[in-house]
Amino acid sequence: QICLGLVKLLFYLAHSPLGSIVLLDFQPRQFVMVDGNLKVTDMDDASTEELSCKEDNDCTLDFPTKSFPLKCSSAGKCEGINEKKNLFNAYRYFFTYLLPHSAPPALQPFLSDILNATGDLRYGINETLKAFEKVLHLYKSGLYLQKRPLLLKEYISLKGFRTVEAEDYKCWPSYSHLGCLLSVHSPEEAAAICNSQSQCQSFIVTQQRTWTGRPLASFQSSPTDLVPDANAVVYIKRSASSGKRL
């Protein structure tokens, strides 16, 4: 969400009515989240000036660890230097820290492509936004779940019940520090996640939704404490539902 919001912001800056705008003091502290949207807090160091040049050799974009040769346009300006500077700063301050950990395994290769392409400045802001929107579509639609074995049949569903909220085993990247609370596309995906975690014996798909509209599922190590809830369904592993547990 943070990276997509940043890309949308940089897309606007690249195509603003004033021309391509560069953020000269590009630091994470210059941004805040407001109602789920990323905002710039300080525009004092923004500029529409693009580096003047006489030849391509005048257009090297330098960073502490990398340099990029750019073209000198017929108008005597370094082509796309403001856009590319913003994009590489987004890569080094945000993408490298957030993208490798922020998607289901099936989507991580797509984010790795974005990471590599922006890190080498092979993508401009238009291509970067398009790539992010593709990942978002796959994520929201559940298309990345195709060709998976059906695992929900390994669970007993108890309609009209939910588990008691209590501290349980932790997982990454959980929405709750008390246990394992993850976003899922469907109960089928939740079953696959539960199967992949050795501690998990049951789960419930809650009424809570993330910014993409996906429900949150709570995964638990014990399904013993159940309370009536007309709107809930508890899914318990068949292997855990025998004997005294149920």
113 with 130: CB under 8 angstroms? no
Q: How many residues does the chain have?
A: 246
Return phi, psi of residue 183, to 5°: -85, 145
CA 213 to chain centre: 14
- ∠ CA 9-89-57, nearest 5°, is 115
- The DSSP secondary-structure symbol of 81 reads H
- The DSSP secondary-structure symbol of 52 reads B
The residue written with tokens 């300080």 in the block is 42
25 is catalytic: yes
Helix (H) or strand (E) holding 33: strand 31-34
The residue from 25, 45, 56, 58 that is catalytic is: 25
The Cα-based distances of 180 to 64, 133, 200 in angstroms read 39, 27, 9
Rounded-to-integer distance, Cα 65 and Cα 77, Å: 24
The set of catalytic residues is: 25
